[in-house]
């Protein structure tokens, strides 16, 4: 399994590659670009996080 569904603190859900999760799956990297199609491409390609990506707290990981 390469992906997880994560629940963020605000109640939003999204799919992220497992390699974006860290700190015992309590945080995730997230692309800093605002366009949904670029985020989708990064998820589908399982892109490597870089220094420009944001870090978000994860409430719960499903999957």
Task: Give the tens place of pLDDT for each residue, 37-48.
Answer: 999 999 999 999
Domain count for the chain, please give it.
1
8-state DSSP, 9: T
**Predicted confidence (pLDDT) per residue in 6-50, tens digit:** 999 999 999 999 999 999 999 999 999 889 999 999 999 999 999
- Give the dihedral sign, CA 29/33/39/45: negative
Q: Cα–Cα distance between 25 and 37 in angstroms, integer?
A: 25
Q: Cα–Cα distance between 4 and 21 in angstroms, integer?
A: 9
- Residues of the domain holding 54: 3-62
Q: Cα–Cα distance between 30 and 50 in angstroms, integer?
A: 9
pTM: 0.90
Helices (H) and strands (E) in the chain, counts: 1, 5
């Amino acid at each position: 399994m390469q992906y997880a569904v994560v629940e963020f603190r605000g109640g939003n859900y999204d799919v992220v590659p497992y390699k974006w999760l860290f700190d015992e799956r309590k945080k995730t990297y997230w692309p800093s670009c605002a366009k949904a199609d670029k985020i989708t491409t990064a998820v589908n390609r399982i892109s490597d996080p870089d220094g420009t990506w944001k870090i978000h707290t994860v409430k719960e990981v499903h999957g």
